[in-house]
Amino acid sequence: MKKECDLNNDIIKLQNQDKLIEKKLAADRKMFSFILVSYYINNPQNLILHLIFDAKNFSQFVSNINYISLMISKTVNVISSIEDEHRQLDRNKQQILEEKQQCNEIMTNISNEIAEVSNSNHSLPSPNILPVPASIRYVDITPYYKNISAFLDKENSMESSISDLYIINSAAKQYDINPLLLLAITGQEQSFVPKTAKYANLIINNPWNVFYSWQVFQGGFGLTALWAAHTVMCLAQDWPGNVNIISWINGIGSDGKRDNPRYGYADDPKWWEGVSMYYQELQQICYQSQLN
């Protein structure tokens, strides 16, 4: 009788403890399995485990605990994965929105350039394409717009917008000229047109100084880009091969005299050195972006 009474008392005690365990389980699921395992080891007579897990023995109980732990772990992983996917979707939506805005900006600027060229009294350059040396031939810079734009932003350039880079790329492609060379020329001619420069809003209409200078020719960014590409193509003709091609385009030999039968791009005999420096720097920026 005493043993039976003790057993009943143990059962009541265990039932009370079970209520406490259920409260702890609700408060912290991560400690769920540890609490129950400890509880069973300390109270081997605990019959309430049968009611909770329908476990016939400790081995089955442990299996149930492991199964629950596994399911909780998988659920946490799934929830975490879903949260990561939602965050990635948000990032993708933001990126798509930014790219749409860039596309709209490009289309607006191109439409403006087309209208400006159409209304201009100046003629377009000849569409005929002449062969140029491989070192200055066209290369698509579309994949590097962001890297080039970041570089130009550091220069506080008015040419840093994606739409302007698109226009340069398109004009260069028309005459099989590397667009980075066209951009490098604006670096030498007008320091990439800093926004703080006096008359910057006028200089941007002809940063290549085609037809002598921006003061003389205000053709607009798109039209002057075409004329610059056409000019470079023409000046690259009859290249002898034993001098730097950009020096040949410059048009002044080591003796200080004109050596290009088509005259040359600039009167400064060291013009080609500045252009070459910017050209190499821009190429390096694109090369580094490929490595990244």
Residues 63-109 have pLDDT tens digits of 666 665 666 676 667 667 767 777 777 777 787 777 777 767 767 76
CB-based contact 225:209 (threshold 8 Å): no
pLDDT for position 120: 60
Residue with tokens 């050195």: 273
Average pLDDT of span 249-262: 93
The fraction of the chain above a pLDDT of 90, given in percent, is 49
Cα 274 to Cα 6: distance, rounded to the nearest angstrom = 99
**What's the pLDDT at 163?**
86
Q: Within this chain, do residues 247 and 147 fall inside the same structural domain, yes or no?
A: yes
Indicate the pLDDT class of residue 147, thresholds 50, 70 and 90.
Answer: very high
- From 77, 107, 134, the end of a domain falls on 77
Residue 132 shares a structural domain with residue 252: yes
Establish if 112 belongs to a structural domain: no
Question: DSSP characters for 132-149?
Answer: --GGGS----GGGHHHHH
At 228, list the tokens.
Answer: 């610059």
Same domain, 148 and 273: yes
Q: Specify the amino acid at residue 232.
A: V
Q: What percent of the chain clears pLDDT 70, i.e. is strictly above it?
A: 65
The predicted pLDDT at position 92 comes to: 72
Residues 69 and 125 reside in one and the same domain: no
Confidence of residue 122 (pLDDT cuts 50, 70, 90): low
Same domain, 130 and 203: yes
What pLDDT shows up at residue 94?
81
On whether both 65 and 137 belong to a single domain, the answer is: no
- Clarify whether residues 175 and 66 are in a common domain: no
Tokens at 206, concatenated: 């002809």
Split into its structural domains, the chain has a count of 2
Whether residue 47 is found in the same domain as residue 147: no
Q: 193 falls in which pLDDT band (50, 70, 90)? A: very high
The reply to whether 57 falls in a domain is yes
| pLDDT value of residue 93 | 74
Tens of pLDDT, residue by residue over 256-271, are 999 999 999 999 999 9
Residue 124 and residue 60 share a domain: no
Asked if 199 and 268 sit in the same domain, the reply is yes
Residue 92 lies in a domain: no
Burial class (CB in 10 A: 0-12, 13-18, 19+), 197: middle
Amino acid identity of residue 138, one-letter, is Y
**Block residue for tokens 């023409």:** 234
How far apart are alpha carbons 219 and 221 in whole angstroms?
Answer: 7
For residue 162, is it within any domain? yes
Measured CA distances, 138 to 122, 172, 182, 289 (Å): 25, 7, 10, 18
Which residue among 77, 100, 132 closes a domain? 77
pLDDT above 60: residue 1: no
125 and 66 within one domain: no
Contact 18, 33 (CB under 8 A): no
User: Does residue 110 surpass a pLDDT of 70?
Assistant: no
Residue 66 tokens, joined: 């492991």
Identify whether 102 is part of a domain.
no
Is residue 58 in some structural domain? yes
Amino acid (one-letter) located at 223: L
Region of 131 (left: φ > 0; alpha: ψ -120 to 50; beta: rest) is beta
Mean pLDDT of the chain: 79
* Predicted structure pTM score: 0.64
pLDDT of 25 over the 80 cut: no
Q: Number of helices (H) and strands (E), helices first, in the chain?
A: 11, 0
pLDDT at 272: 97
Report yes or no on 153 lying in a domain: yes
Please give the Cα distance from 151 to 108 (Å, whole number).
Answer: 23
Lowest mean pLDDT among 50-64, 96-110, 167-181, 267-281: 50-64
Per-residue pLDDT at 51 exceeds 60: no
pLDDT at site 102: 72
Q: Which domain holds residue 25?
A: 2-77
Please indicate, yes or no, if residue 87 is contained in any of the structural domains: no
pLDDT at 125 over 60: yes
Q: List pLDDT tens digits, range 213-242.
A: 999 998 889 899 999 999 999 999 999 999
Contact 269, 252 (CB under 8 A): yes
For residue 161, give the nearest of 191, 195, 118 by alpha carbon. 195
Pair (60, 126) in one structural domain? no
pLDDT band at 2 (very low <50, low <70, confident <90, very high): very low
